Amino acid sequence: MPRKLSTLDPQRLDNQICFAVYSAAHAFNRVYKPLLDRLGLTYPQYLVMLVLWERDDVPVKDIGERLFLDSGTLTPLLKRLEAAHLVKRTRSSEDERQVLIALTPQGHALKEKARSVPPSILAASDCSVSELVAMKDEIVALRDRLNAVIGE
């Protein structure tokens, strides 16, 4: 007989908050896909564009800190965005170690086309804005606590 009731079993899949988060992330990805296809972006590329729409001409490292991604992920992704003529990569003249990422005119223009994305996601969430904001804040707080123990 099992040591614990399954609803309390810490090794049960449905009791894992990590799986809830993992599977929700994939569900978001699938909802975003058709919307982003029309923009010619993948979801991680869309996140990079959100960062750059707030402020561009920033080094790769800044984007990485914002999105919790490293150069192994960002370098090839940014090269693809450059190949799509959405960004320009130029080595900084003040510090030759840095590569600055700037939006092209097309990159700036895409922000307008992307304006319909968040409302579509909101609709798919089938949830009030205030509920979503509350959930977001809780999830961000959890994420930050997890990230805090990574260097323990």
Partner DNA sequence: CCAGATTCAATTGCGAACAATTAAATGTGA
Partner DNA sequence: TCACATTTAATTGTTCGCAATTGAATCTGG
Q: What residues line the site for its own copies (CB under 8 A)? A: 10-13, 15-28, 30-32, 43, 47, 50-51, 53-54, 66-68, 111, 114-115, 118-119, 121-122, 124-127, 132-133, 135-136, 138-140, 142-143, 145-150
Choosing among DNA, its own copies, none, which partner's interface includes residue 85 (Cβ < 5 to 8 Å by kind)? none
Residues 1-40, one symbol each (x = binds DNA by CB under 7 A, - = not), give ---------------------x---x--xx--x-------
Q: How many Å is the Cα radius of gyration of the chain?
A: 19
Tell whether residue 107 is a contact of DNA (CB under 7 A).
no
What is the b/e burial string over 108-118, where b = at least 16 CB atoms within 10 angstroms of the residue's CB?
Answer: eebeeebeebe
* Site residue total, DNA (CB under 7 A): 32
Residue with tokens 């999830």: 139
